[in-house]
Amino acid sequence: MEEQAIILTHEPSTEIARLVSEATPDLVFLLTDETTERLCRPLLADCDALCDAVSIVIGATDVHKNLDTLADVWRQLGTGGGSRHSLMVCLGGGMVTDLGGFAASTFKRGIRYINVPTTLLAMVDAAVGGKTGINFNGLKNEIGVFRKSVAVVIDSRFLRTLDAPNLCSGYAEMIKHGLISHEAHWAELLRFDLSQPDYAELQRLVAQSIGVKEHIVEVDPLEHGIRKALNVGHTVGHAFESLALAESRPVLHGYAVAWGMVSELYLSCTKVGFPKDKMRQTVDYIRTHYGTFVFDCDHYERLYDYMTHDKKNVGGIVNFTLLADIGDIRLDQTATKEEIFAMLDFFRETMN
């Protein structure tokens, strides 16, 4: 997989202008959603490289991360005169970088793109690593390709445009990176005050978090092995997310991942010996900052069905990435239906 430059800066306009100049595209397209067009594009008003860009604005939130929106972006790339020599700048959160990256990767069999993530979730997860895609048939990220952007331009000033729930959503992925890296990083993440964030400290933690993901992606770009470590919390989290979407009560991705980590840490304890005290510390932090996801035993079969459709599975057997300790990753772990139902019992008893 091609290289992806990660650029942490407080001068994003300068960096974007440099990258566009080096790419020498025939046309530049700027993809935003309705929210980032209003709140974040003004922060790049001084970027000459984007002044003449063809603007594509899509609907905000994950409900628009679908085939209809993707087709609309393809259509606007075509009617806007896009060619294989064009470049797209994706300015937004994970939905914009996922869908925009997929649109760019498939239009004319692939044009170059730059990610400028504006949410914490996109900075530490969605915009980095080359995964692109859309939701399809009621399932998260069901259709997509691996293809890295030319660069990811990160400026923590964009985080000041976020409300508290979206900041928390991104921070969940950082907690995951702490769990799969080392105890010191995990501990400092649990000490961070999300209710009154220190943005300078957060920028430092973001850099560390990106470093964790970058190292894993470099070793395993196409998720044949250790990259599966990045799926901690996601098997159950995606099931929660899919159920919430199906019941018209969508939840932010990071919240679903946080609740998924609660569930999967329980499995880690019972199946591979993750320390109970560290599980409790992590669960307490998540319960305090993320609340809970409400469901009852009548939802168990449906949640299990969502888990069986997870992309990591082989032969319909639900596959988890579990932890024997902080940084002690156990890939390709399975659980019976009874064990999964017991895990859901634990979640409801502990989080409610």
Q: Which residue has the tokens 């692939």?
A: 110
Note whether 274 and 295 are within 8 A (CB): no
Q: Render pLDDT for 66-88 as a digit per residue (tens, 0 to 9).
A: 999 999 999 999 999 999 999 99
Distance from C-alpha of 242 to C-alpha of 250, rounded to nearest angstrom = 8
Do 32 and 115 fall within a single domain?
yes
298, 321, 322 from 345: Cα distances, Å: 12, 20, 18
Tell me, what's the pLDDT at 287? 97
Q: Which of 147, 148, 228, 234 is catalytic?
A: 234
Domain that holds residue 111: 5-161
Segment 5-26, tens digit of pLDDT: 999 999 999 999 999 999 999 9
Same domain, 81 and 177: no
- 3-class secondary structure per residue, 76-134: HHHHCCCCCCCEEEEEECHHHHHHHHHHHHHHHHCCEEEEEECCHHHHHHHCCCCECCE
**Which helix (H) or strand (E) segment is 278 a member of?**
helix 276-290
One domain, residues 175 and 157: no
Which of 161, 185, 219 is a domain's end point? 161
**Residue after which a domain boundary falls, among 103, 129, 161:** 161
**CATH code assigned at 246:** 1.20.1090.10
- Which is catalytic among the residues 135, 141, 166, 231? 231
Q: What pLDDT, on a 0 to 100 scale, did the predictor assign at position 98?
A: 96
What one-letter code names the amino acid at 242? Answer: S
Please pick, among 109, 191, 224, 349, the residue that the annotation labels catalytic. 109
Taking CB atoms within 8 Å and a gap of at least 24, the contacts of 102-107 are 102/70, 102/132, 102/133, 102/134, 102/143, 102/144, 102/145, 103/31, 103/70, 103/73, 103/74, 103/77, 104/132, 104/147, 105/132, 105/145, 105/147, 106/74, 106/145, 107/74, 107/77, 107/78, 107/82
**Does residue 183 sit in the same domain as residue 317?**
yes
Check residue 223 and give its pLDDT: 85
223 is catalytic: yes
- Tens digit of each residue's pLDDT (9 = 90 or more) over 228-261: 999 999 999 999 999 998 999 999 999 999 999 9
| Domain shared by 192 and 311, yes or no | yes
Read off the pLDDT band of 1 (50, 70, 90): low
Q: Is 66 among the residues known to form the active site?
A: no
Q: Look up residue 159 and give its two tokens.
A: 């985080």
Number of folded domains in the chain?
Answer: 2
Q: Is the pLDDT of residue 33 over 80?
A: yes
- Asked if 152 and 187 sit in the same domain, the reply is no
Rounded CA separation 285/266 (Å): 15
Q: Domain with 94 in it: what CATH number?
A: 3.40.50.1970
Identify the active-site residue in 112, 140, 213, 289.
213
* Together in a domain, 123 and 212: no
Bridge partners (DSSP) of residue 223 are: none
Which of 15, 37, 173, 264 is the catalytic position?
173
Answer with the one of 112, 129, 161 that is the final residue of a domain.
161
Q: Which of 64, 148, 177, 238 is catalytic?
A: 238
Q: Which of 15, 223, 241, 264 is catalytic?
A: 223
**Catalytic-role residue among 41, 253, 271, 299:** 253
Catalytic residue at 238? yes
Q: Measured between alpha carbons, how far is 114 from 284 in angstroms, rounded to an integer?
A: 37
Rounded CA-CA distance 126/33 in Å is 15
C-alpha–C-alpha distance, residues 283 and 260, integer Å: 11
Q: Which amino acid, 172?
A: A
109 flagged as catalytic: yes
Q: Are residues 219 and 128 in the same domain?
A: no
Q: Is pLDDT above 80 for 113?
A: yes
Q: Are residues 180 and 157 in the same domain?
A: no
User: Tokens 């190292």 — which residue?
Assistant: 215
Q: What pLDDT digit, counting tens, does each position of 278-317 carry?
A: 999 999 999 999 999 999 999 999 999 999 988 777 777 8
Q: Please confirm, yes or no, whether 157 is among the known catalytic residues.
A: no
**Cβ neighbour number for residue 190 with a 10 Å cutoff:** 14
Are 241 and 341 in a shared domain? yes
CB 124 within 8 A of CB 170: yes
> Do 150 and 198 fall into the same domain?
no
* Residue 274 backbone phi and psi in degrees, to 5: -60, 135
- Summary mean pLDDT of the chain: 95
CB distance 122 to 168 below 8 Å: no
In this structure, the answer to whether residues 50 and 141 fall within a common structural domain is yes
Euclidean distance between CA atoms 72 and 81, whole angstroms: 14
